[in-house]
Amino acid sequence: MEYKRIFITGGIASGKTTLAEKLSKKLKIKNYELDNIAYKRRDVWTKADYSERKKNLDKIFQRKKWILEGFYSTPWVYSIYKKADVVIILKTNKLTSKNRITRRFMKRRLSFKKNKLINKNFKDFLKVLNHISAPHYHKKLKRIHMVAKKHSKKIIILANKKEIKNLLEKIK
C-alpha cells in the first residue's frame, strides 16, 4: 500500500498522534495536528476563524505528501476527507481511552516541558474523562464514520494494536 495523503481520525486518546508520528517517520512525510489548525492557542482553547483554518489547510494541500490527524467531522474538514488517499479511523473502546487520558494527564502534570500546557489541570482532566461517556461524544464518533463514507475513496478502520502493527508493516 502506498499513500501520499493520509488523514487519521478517531476519538480522544485513540492513538491518532502516535500513529501519525510513526507513519511520518516511516514514510518521511510531515504530519500535522488539526488542533493546531483549529485553535490559535490550545492552552486556552482560542479558536481560529474559518478563513484562517482554510488558509492553513490549503498550505498543507499544496504539498504532494501530508499526514493530518484529528477528531473533527464538521464542514471545515470535509476537504481533508476528499483529498486524502486514505482515511484511517481508529476505533478505541472507552476504557482504553480513559486509561490513556489518565496516563497522558500524569505525564504532562509531572513534566516540566513548557510547550505542553494542554490538559495539565485536574479540572480539565475530569472534563475530558466525562466527555468520553457523554451521548454527544458517541454521536460525533458515528458522524466521523458517516462523513468518511460520504467523502472518502478509501477507509481503513483499526480497532487494536495488532491491526495498527499490521498496517504499519504493509504501508510503503
Residue ranges per structural domain of the chain: 5-170
pLDDT at residue 108, rounded to an integer? 75
Pick out the chain residues at pLDDT < 50: 115
State the pTM of this model. 0.89
Handedness of CA 159, 165, 170, 172 (dihedral sign): positive
d(C-alpha 33, C-alpha 16), whole Å: 9
Q: Which residues contact 93 (CB under 8 A, 6 or more apart)?
A: none
pLDDT at residue 128, rounded to an integer? 86
pLDDT at residue 46, rounded to an integer? 81
Kindly state the helix (H) or strand (E) to which residue 105 belongs, with its residue range: helix 94-110
d(C-alpha 141, C-alpha 158), whole Å: 14
Neighbours of 4 (CB within 10 A): 14
Q: Tell whether domain 5-170 is in CATH 3.40.50.300.
A: yes
